[in-house]
Every structure is written in C-alpha cells, then in structure tokens.
Structure 1
Amino acid sequence: FVDMLNAMRFGRLDKVSIQAFQSLSRPLTYEDGIGPTQLYPTRSEVDSANRTKLASLPGDGIRYPATDTPGRDSNDNLVSLEQMGRLLERLVAQQVIHLKVGAQIMLIKNMVQGQLVNGSVGQVVRFSTSEEAMRTATPIATEEGLKGGLSTKSELPANYDNSQWPVVRFTCGRELLCVPTEFTVDNADGGIEARRRQVSHLTFV
C-alpha cells in the first residue's frame, strides 16, 4: 500500500493500483452523524459547500445575522462602516449563519478546557431559548462562561431570554446552548477597532 501511495504521489499509478484504489470506494456511515472535515482553499468554496450541505437537510432552519459595531483606530478616530466591514472579514465568525437541525458545526471559541475548545465538532440537535435550556439543565455558553440548569434567569442577558438558539451535541457527548458572543479586531494600541456579536460556532461540512 505504501508503494501505491508513493506511485500516486509521483503520478505513476499503474492499472493494478488504480483498480485497488477504486475497490476501496464505498458508502460510509458515521454512527454519531459527524462526518470528516473537508478543507477548501477559499472562503467562497467553503460557503458553497456549506450551502449545499444545508440545503440537503429538511426544514427551514434559523438565520442568525451578526451585530457589527465600529470602534476606533489607533489615532482614536471613529472607524467608518466601510473600514469596519473590511476589518471584520478577517474574523472566522460569519456575518450571517444559517442553521438547521442536523447541521454539523465547529466551535470557534474555547468553552471548557480539554473538552469544548476551538475546533470541537458537533451537530445541532434542536433549538431552544435560554430559559428552556436552564429548565433542562443544558449548559449555556455565555461570554462569562458556562451557565447551567442551576442558573437563575436574572443571571442571563435579557436579550437571550425569548430567542431560539442552537443546542449542539459534541463528539464528547456534551450538549451546549450556543448564544451570541463577541469577536473583536484590535488596533495597534490594543483598543477595539471593530466588533461582531455572533453565535460562537461555525458551520462546516
């Protein structure tokens, strides 16, 4: 098999090797519903793949537009909306995220050291309000850290209370309600040049 891989590397595959590789082609089933991560060279190709995968899932899902806010540059000048847009293009957090039950996602912020970190993969299993999550003891990923079923409603920001947010089950078995968190672009002096509030994960296929 190593010889076959080396032959492929140098573009010197013979018919026997080609047939051997083709014989490995088969449908794959993932018991946890989590498929392998696919890598693409450009953001547009990633977005296209995500749209195709999302369209294959039933239902309408929910769209989450981000809230973008300009800050100030290193000269303390207010950043224009055009500048803000260019700055926020650097972020992994997207301007609009469209999710459905069954969508595969990846965390882009650390939540629980060693368990739920940047890069952790999961699947949307339902949508829920923060109040419903607390009743079912589903941890909520807020900017202050995880809040669970023992939290009181007053501990959560009011703008989370009646909104439906994705509940994600990760490969480690834990479920998490993902609510908006803040992502920033800093200027040369460490001040915030632009900020975006968006749910703390990224869809991918």
Structure 2
Amino acid sequence: MTASPHRPIRSYVLRMGRLTDGQQRAFDEHWPRFGLSHSDGLLDYPAVFGRDAPRVLEIGFGMGQSLVAMAAAAPATDFIGIEVHRPGVGKLLHSMAEEGVDNIRIYCHDAVEVLRDCIPPASLDTIQIFFPDPWHKKRHHKRRLIQPAFAEQLVAYLKPGGVLHLATDWENYAGQMLEVLSATSGLENTAGAGNYAPKPESRPLTKFEQRGERLGHGVWDLLFRRVQ
C-alpha cells in the first residue's frame, strides 16, 4: 500500500504516559462534570457552562498549571482546554478540584478535529497556544502547528475583535509565527507590524518558563486581533 503524500495537520505528537494514582482518581471523579466529548458535536456553551460569558480556548494546555491559574483569576470567563495526553488532563482535573475552579471544560482529543466539529464559528474571545512543540530541527519545521492553513482556520473561530495569543521560547519558531500571522488575512498585530507583544499579566509564568528565565532564555508573545 502506498502512503498518502498529504500529511494531515495534527495538534500533538503522540507520547505514551501513565496516569499517576492521583491523576486517575481525578479523572474518574471529575471527568463526568468537566469533560467534553468530540463525538457530541457542536458545543452549546450555555448548556455546558450554565451561562453566556466571554470564552477562551487553549490548545495544548500540558499539565494545566497556567490554565488553572488563568481560570481562577477570571471567574467570569469560561475556558475550554484541549489536550490529547491523559496525564495532563488528569493533572488539570486534580488541580481544578484543589483550587475550587469550575469554569473550565476539557476535551481530551486532537484540537484540529475539535475545532472542525465542535467549536461554533466566530464564538471565541481568545484562542491561546502556549509553547507548542518547536520541532527545532530544520527538516521537521513542516510539522510545526502554526502554519498558514491552520492560522486561517483559527481566525474563523474568533469573534470580530477576538485575540489569537501565541507564546514560544524558541526564537526561530517565534519568527515563523510572526511571519505566518502577519500574512494571515483578517488578523492585525496588536503590538504593531513586525513586533512581538509584551507578556500580558493574564498569562501566568509556568515553572518551565521561570526556569528558562533564570537561565537567560527568551520568551516571545504574539497577540493578533481579528479585524472586521
């Protein structure tokens, strides 16, 4: 059988990982309330959250530390997190229970498929993607998530005036992100053409990022707004 020459965009690299006992308990106890299923189709926000509020979607939240911190700091905002790795989902659920955070709902599924099948167009105030896999070897750059076609798709899910917020600690990837978003129709750079944005106070520092700062590593934020 000949392999297809067209590789579909994926929002993740599949890594095997075993849930700790605490993560598994959190999954068992809290997934029925906070978990969302891709198979349920288009998301009904008021039905899921019990209200109509500003909405933030995070793609690839890792272990969920910054997502929990953001949700705790903005209880009047609804957050949707997408992460394919179950240990990260289990850790997020555990942290939500510890912190008493209840304004997050979670997909454990590929983000490309969730966007396509579950997120209504022009329904999000913010889409955030923090520290996606940089695929630092040049021959692997084509595997990076932030590519022209995907950026165009993201714009469609933002409300007019909604913001796409990216962050990376790889300067080469930051340059690619800036180039891609600057060329994407319907987006404008909130920091001005060709500029990176100051880190917003709303984005908490992760432990990984704090360690990087101590080592002198840079972090680049990009905030682009959907124009009418």
Q: Do both share a fold (TM > 0.5)?
A: no
Normalising by the smaller structure, the TM-score range is under 0.3
Larger-Rg structure: 1
How does the TM-score come out when normalised to structure 2?
Answer: 0.24
More strand by percentage: 1
Higher relative contact order (CA 8 A, sep 6+): 1
